[in-house]
Amino acid sequence: MSLQVKDYSRAHIRLRFQEGVEAELRLMDKRGQLLSRGVNTVMLMNLSHEGLCFASSVQLPVQDNYMVDIRMTINQIPIVLRGTIRWNKKHEDGYFHGASFQSSGLLRSLLVRVMNQELLAQQPQQLKIHQSYQRLVHYSNWKRLLGQPALAGGRGH
């Protein structure tokens, strides 16, 4: 039996926030100039290294002619992300919005680390699994650098 993934937008691991995380949202033009002086408070629902979902009382249009600047703090680390609204959906108290990021590899790497820390804080029982995985990745990288198969049967002979 083969598994087919049709919805590629859901292919990334998402950090879900049970009660939401408060963030500040600003609207900007494509050059990075603020479109208004006002700051909207939104609630982050989930986050991946590619984008996020947030709840807002205001409906934002799905257009490429402006960007959103989202400022949040996760694990006491301030993060500023810029992106574009890709979808919105009405719910009882307002709207859910999905935004995709326009960020560098360095920022994505930082975001993955912060997400990892938050996941471990939410589920401390996963620490041993996480540490084992990190050792395996480290071991596989060294074997690859040395030109050896990553999953050799012996103990380094």
pTM comes to 0.67
Instruction: Check pLDDT > 70 for residue 126.
Output: no
Higher pLDDT, 88 or 3: 88
Q: How far apart are CA 97 and CA 87, in angstroms?
A: 6
pLDDT computed for residue 156 by the predictor: 46
Q: How far apart are CA 43 and CA 58, in angstroms?
A: 12
Higher pLDDT, 145 or 104: 104
3-class state of residue 153 by DSSP: coil
Instruction: For Cα atoms 59, 63, 67, give the angle at the middle one, nearest 5 degrees.
Output: 85
44-77 pLDDT, tens digit each = 998 888 889 999 999 999 998 999 999 999 888 8
The alpha-helical segments, DSSP class H, found in 69-104 are: none
3-class state of residue 51 by DSSP: strand
Inter-residue long-range contacts of 9-15, CB under 8 Å, 24+ positions, other chains counted: 12/48, 12/49, 12/50, 12/51, 13/48, 13/115, 14/46, 14/47, 14/48, 15/46, 15/47, 15/48, 15/115, 15/118, 15/119
pLDDT computed for residue 145 by the predictor: 59
Q: Closest by alpha carbon to 66, among 23, 88, 90, 33?
A: 33
Instruction: Check pLDDT > 80 for residue 13.
Output: no
pLDDT computed for residue 138 by the predictor: 59
Share of residues in the chain with pLDDT > 70 (%): 69
Please name the residues in contact with 129: beta carbons below 8 A apart, sequence gap of 6 or more.
none
Instruction: Check pLDDT > 80 for residue 38.
Output: yes
DSSP state for residue 151 in the 8-state scheme: T
> What integer is the mean pLDDT of 22-31?
94
The alpha-helical segments, DSSP class H, found in the chain are: 105-122, 127-145
pLDDT computed for residue 82 by the predictor: 92
Q: How far apart are CA 116 and CA 106, in angstroms?
A: 15
